[in-house]
Amino acid sequence: MRVRHVSTAVVRHAAVRCGRCPALIAFAVTEAGRSMPIDVEPDVAGNVAVHVDGAGRIRARVVSRDRPVLGYERLHLPHFATCAAAQRSPATASNVVPLYRKRAARRVRESQVDQLLPDPG
Ligand SMILES: [Zn+2]
């Protein structure tokens, strides 16, 4: 499959303000077809591999040991890992575990892998 090399400019162009904090985020589509808010700027500490597909959609998948980031992808942080509102008032979203920037990436990865990558067996 031919894909355009991910362009940070595309993600920036799609940026919107988070509804709960001042951060700029973009919405990517996961392999499961869900919408996932990501931080606009790439971050090597991120665990979400992002690329722009042939239709210009921002696609995201959670990296894992078996599926590391590929050359055409860029690593981003999922916004819920960095959202200031989520960290400040976890009670507002009881289903969201309070996360702390970057150090939380591993925990996010594990939970996201469970969620996004169904057991093939
Ligand atoms: Zn936010």
| CA 84 to ligand 1 centroid distance, Å | 6
- Specify the 3-state DSSP secondary structure of 4: strand
| CA 10 to ligand 1 centroid distance, Å | 20
Angle at 117 between CA 9 and CA 10, to 5 degrees: 5
Residue 104 lies in a domain: no
In terms of residue numbers, what domain contains 19? Answer: 3-91
Report yes or no on whether pTM surpasses 0.85.
Answer: no
21 vs 91, residue with greater confidence: 21
Residue 69 lies in a domain: yes
Look at residue 114 and tell me whether its pLDDT is greater than 60: no
Our count of domains for the chain comes to 1
| CA 94 to ligand 1 centroid distance, Å | 16
CA distance 31 to 80: 18
Residue 55 lies in a domain: yes
CA distance 101 to 95: 18
Whole-angstrom distance between the N-terminal and C-terminal Cα of the chain? 26
| CA 47 to ligand 1 centroid distance, Å | 17
Residue 65 lies in a domain: yes
| CA 82 to ligand 1 centroid distance, Å | 7
Q: Residue written as tokens 């890992």?
A: 81
The alpha-carbon radius of gyration of the chain (Å, integer) is 14
| CA 57 to ligand 1 centroid distance, Å | 21
Residue 75 lies in a domain: yes
Residue 47 lies in a domain: yes
Task: Tell me the longest C-alpha to C-alpha distance in the chain.
Answer: 43
Beta-carbon neighbours within 5 Å of ion ligand 1: 18, 20-21, 23, 83
Task: Tell me the pLDDT tens digit for each residue of 31-74.
Answer: 999 999 999 999 999 999 999 999 999 999 999 999 999 999 99
How many CB atoms are closer than 10 A to CB 120?
4
Residue 98 lies in a domain: no
